[in-house]
Amino acid sequence: MSTAGQVIKCKAAVAWESGKPLSIEEVEVAPPQKNEVRVKILFTSLCHTDVYFWDAKGQNPLFPRILGHEAGGIVESVGEGVTDLKPGDHVLPIFTGECKECPHCLSEESNMCDLLRINTDRGEMIHDGKSRFSINGKPIYHFLGTSTFSEYTVVHVGQVAKINPEAPLDKVCVLSCGMSTGFGATVNVAKPKKGQSVAIFGLGAVGLAAAEGARVSGASRIIGVDLNPSRFEQAKKFGVTEFVNPKDHDKPVQKVIAEMTGGGVDRSVECTGSIQAMISAFECVHDGWGVAVLVGVPSKDDAFQTHPVNLLNERTLKGTFFGNYKPRTDIPAVVEKYMNKELELDKFITHSVPFSEINKAFELMLAGEGLRCVIRMDA
CB atoms within 10 A of CB 273: 18
Q: What single DSSP character describes residue 22?
A: P
Amino acid at 276: Q
The active-site residue, picked from 3, 10, 48, 242, is 48
Spell out the per-residue pLDDT of the chain, length 379, in tens.
689 999 999 999 999 999 999 999 999 999 999 999 999 999 999 998 999 899 877 677 899 999 999 999 999 999 999 999 999 999 999 999 999 999 999 999 999 999 999 999 999 999 999 999 999 999 999 999 999 999 999 999 999 999 999 999 999 999 999 999 999 999 999 999 999 999 999 999 999 999 999 999 999 999 999 999 999 999 999 999 999 999 999 999 999 999 999 999 999 999 999 999 999 999 999 999 999 999 998 887 889 999 999 999 999 999 999 999 999 999 999 999 999 999 999 999 999 999 999 999 999 999 988 899 999 998 6
Amino acid at 116: L
pTM of the model: 0.94
Helical spans, DSSP H, in 136-252? 169-172, 178-184, 205-216, 231-235
158 Cα distance to chain centroid = 17
Tell me if the bond preceding 32 is cis, omega within 30° of 0: no
pLDDT tens profile 136-156: 999 999 999 999 999 999 999
Domains and CATH numbers, the chain: 8-176+345-376 (3.90.180.10), 182-321 (3.40.50.720)
Torsion of CA 91, 92, 98, 99, to 10 degrees: 40
The active-site residue, picked from 173, 177, 284, 373, is 177
Does 142 qualify as catalytic in the annotation?
no
Does 120 qualify as catalytic in the annotation?
no
The active-site residue, picked from 25, 36, 70, 283, is 70
pLDDT tens profile 51-92: 989 987 767 789 999 999 999 999 999 999 999 999 999 999
Torsion of CA 311, 316, 317, 323, to 10 degrees: 180
Residue 265 backbone dihedrals phi, psi, to 5 degrees: -80, 160
Rounded Cα gap, residues 275 and 284, in angstroms? 14
115 Cα distance to chain centroid = 19
Does 47 qualify as catalytic in the annotation?
yes
What pLDDT was estimated at residue 58? 62
Rounded Cα gap, residues 95 and 117, in angstroms? 8
What pLDDT was estimated at residue 297? 86
Rounded Cα gap, residues 133 and 138, in angstroms? 8
Does 284 qualify as catalytic in the annotation?
no
The active-site residue, picked from 47, 173, 284, 373, is 47
Amino acid at 246: P
The active-site residue, picked from 38, 44, 99, 156, is 99
Crossing angle of helices 358-366 and 48-55, rounded to 10°: 90
Does 49 qualify as catalytic in the annotation?
yes
The active-site residue, picked from 25, 36, 44, 49, is 49
Does 372 qualify as catalytic in the annotation?
yes
The active-site residue, picked from 38, 113, 215, 373, is 113
Does 69 qualify as catalytic in the annotation?
yes
Does 99 qualify as catalytic in the annotation?
yes
Does 173 qualify as catalytic in the annotation?
no
What pLDDT was estimated at residue 379? 67
133 Cα distance to chain centroid = 24
